[in-house]
Amino acid sequence: MASMQTSPNIIVGLDIGTSKIKAVIGELSPNHIEIRGYSIVPSKGLRNGVVINIEETKRSIRTAMEEAQSFAGCQVDCAYIGITGSHIKSISSHGVITINNEVTAEDVQRVTQQAHAGKYSLTEEHMLHVLPQEFTLDMQEGILEPEGMAGKRLEVKTHIITASQSAVRNIEKCVLSAGLAKSTPVLAQLAASEAVLSDDEKELGVCVVDIGGGTTDITVYRNGSMQYTAVLPIAGNYVTNDIAIAFNTPTDSAERIKVQYGCAMPSLIKEDFKFDVQRVGEREPFALGQRLLSEVIRPRMEEIFENVEARLKQDGFSKEMFGAGIVITGGSSMIFGSVPLAEEIFDMPVRIGVPKSDVLSGGLVHEVNHSELATAIGLLLYAHQNFDLDNPGYVYVTPRAKGPGFFATLGSRLRRLKNWFSASF
Ligand SMILES: Nc1ncnc2c1ncn2[C@@H]1O[C@H](COP(=O)(O)OP(=O)(O)OP(=O)(O)O)[C@@H](O)[C@H]1O
Ligand SMILES: [Mg+2]
């Protein structure tokens, strides 16, 4: 490993899930991210996104990094890591400052900082993101990019995302033990949504449902920005357990048949294909039909979608708010029939979200183009938007220091690119 190529612009998007760890290595340059390698390995030591066994988690992350680095042929010491779990909190906040006739980038940063000052416990919570929703300049509401505009009083409405300090520290400890000296925690839902959504969908209103192994993460975008997030402790592992119990088969065999033959809608099965299944404690396998398997899967997938619908309703969302419908992603969205089932339950258009972006390049782009990798790819996209191109290699920048961060305005982004070019050539 010591002789492997290293570069300060090569980083890893690390999605430490409840059932799998996904590591995607990318090389960042101003206009694109070249995918260099990736790995998907079983995850041990986490429950619902939170570390419950630190040694097992460290081992799983080390395995993921060894595989991904060997694939990419390079060593990485900088990670963007996805953070999720029921400890995530989102608070709506408001900041106001007076300015000197014209809004500068510093004013935008100052008003955003003002919005989150004193809004959460510094000892218990880690501030992940301050997401500006809209600015008001004097009496003019609904401004998305106030920089350069004239006025006296600048207000901002923001959405603050925090995570439990201890949950973030434990993940960072595990990541450090895999040789990743620099790490930046990012809300996993934010990363996944950025990877799968188009700007139009964010504008029209859309709900992203990331169905993983242990948790189902809900994220709502409206008027171009993230407005809401929630985590439900029910996902694909429940489906696997149902199969294991219904057919008295070991969990790994239940997982295998789910992925290979599973279907969320029995009515989609035209020919009842039969396959062999191992029974616990018995040598002889038995023949199971795809339709019966599907009848066990459907109620649990239905329950997941119904829980999402109930949670959205409880928190004040109605169908009319989602002009662009629902986007499902995460490993469990890949089960055959999940889209028509979700459409039946939500009574809205549903599509599968796969990671897509014009900035991704390299021969591996088509290989990583599936929903299981949405968060890991989204972490690379996040890194690309926030990477300090003026100072490659120095990337441990807290969202606080970066101000609007992920939602950096187009103008400021172009300027950073320009600076990068003038510093390099
Ligand atoms: N082709 C497939 N068909 C059905 N289910 C699948 C498929 N591929 C993966 N899964 C399921 O997806 C789940 C893992 O998805 P993912 O990797 O998104 O979860 P995770 O990130 O590890 O978990 P979490 O986000 O809950 O912490 C597992 O339950 C797995 O069985
Ligand atoms: Mg996940």
pLDDT score recorded for residue 425: 25
Q: Are 129 and 72 found together in one domain?
A: no
What DSSP character marks residue 332?
Answer: G
pLDDT score recorded for residue 325: 98
Using the mean position of ligand 2's atoms as its centre, give its distance from the Cα of residue 177 in Å. 21
Q: Are 36 and 61 found together in one domain?
A: yes
**Pairwise CA distance, residues 119 & 130, whole Å:** 11
Number of domains in the chain: 2
Q: Are 117 and 105 found together in one domain?
A: yes
Rounded to 5 degrees, φ, ψ at 356 are: -145, 135
Res. 419 pLDDT band, cuts 50 70 90:
very low
- Residues in Cβ contact with 185 at an 8 Å cutoff, skipping those fewer than 6 apart: 81, 83, 126, 128, 163, 168, 171, 172
Over residues 170-192, the pLDDT tens digits come to 999 999 999 999 999 999 999 99
Query: 44 lies in a domain?
Result: yes
Whole-model pTM over 0.85: yes
> Ligand 1 atom 21: the closest Cα is on which residue?
17
Over residues 193-212, the pLDDT tens digits come to 999 999 999 999 999 999 99
Query: 78 lies in a domain?
Result: yes
Q: Are 79 and 184 found together in one domain?
A: yes
Q: Are 66 and 172 found together in one domain?
A: yes
pLDDT score recorded for residue 238: 97
> Ligand 1 atom 9: the closest Cα is on which residue?
331
127: helix, strand or coil: strand
Query: 208 lies in a domain?
Result: no
Round the average pLDDT of the chain to a whole number and report it.
88
Q: Are 181 and 36 found together in one domain?
A: yes
Query: 68 lies in a domain?
Result: yes
Ligand 1 neighbours, Cβ below 6 Å, are 15, 17-20, 43, 49, 212-215, 235-237, 240, 255, 258-259, 262, 330-332, 334-335, 372
pLDDT score recorded for residue 225: 86
Using the mean position of ligand 1's atoms as its centre, give its distance from the Cα of residue 165 in Å. 26
- Best of 332, 334, 339, 377 for a ligand 1 pocket test (most atoms within 8 Å of beta carbon): 332
pLDDT score recorded for residue 423: 30
Range of the domain at 112: 89-164
Domain end marker among 120, 144, 164: 164
Over residues 47-106, the pLDDT tens digits come to 888 899 999 999 999 999 999 999 999 999 999 999 998 899 888 889 999 999 999 999
Q: Which helix (H) or strand (E) holds 47?
A: strand 46-47
Query: 143 lies in a domain?
Result: yes
Domain end marker among 122, 143, 164: 164
Q: Are 110 and 68 found together in one domain?
A: no
Query: 52 lies in a domain?
Result: yes
Query: 217 lies in a domain?
Result: no
Over residues 300-349, the pLDDT tens digits come to 999 999 999 999 999 999 999 999 999 999 999 999 999 999 999 999 99
Query: 341 lies in a domain?
Result: no
What DSSP character marks residue 415?
Answer: H
Rounded to 5 degrees, φ, ψ at 19 are: -110, -25
Domain end marker among 111, 145, 164: 164
Q: Are 147 and 14 found together in one domain?
A: no
Q: Which helix (H) or strand (E) holds 125?
A: strand 125-137
CATH of the domain at 118: 3.30.1490.110
Q: Are 183 and 70 found together in one domain?
A: yes
Over residues 258-267, the pLDDT tens digits come to 999 999 999 9
Q: Are 80 and 16 found together in one domain?
A: yes
Res. 406 pLDDT band, cuts 50 70 90:
very low
Using the mean position of ligand 1's atoms as its centre, give its distance from the Cα of residue 329 in Å. 10
Q: Which atom of ligand 1 is nearest to the CA of 84?
A: 27
Q: Are 15 and 132 found together in one domain?
A: no
Using the mean position of ligand 1's atoms as its centre, give its distance from the Cα of residue 18 in Å. 9
Residues paired with residue 28 on neighbouring β-strands, in sequence order? 33
Over residues 97-109, the pLDDT tens digits come to 999 999 999 999 8
Q: Are 140 and 36 found together in one domain?
A: no
**What are the CA-CA distances from residue 343 to residues 80, 296, 301, 302, 337 (Å)?**
33, 19, 12, 11, 10
CATH of the domain at 390: 3.30.420.40
Helical residues (DSSP H) of 117-249, grouped into ranges: 165-177, 188-196, 199-204, 236-246
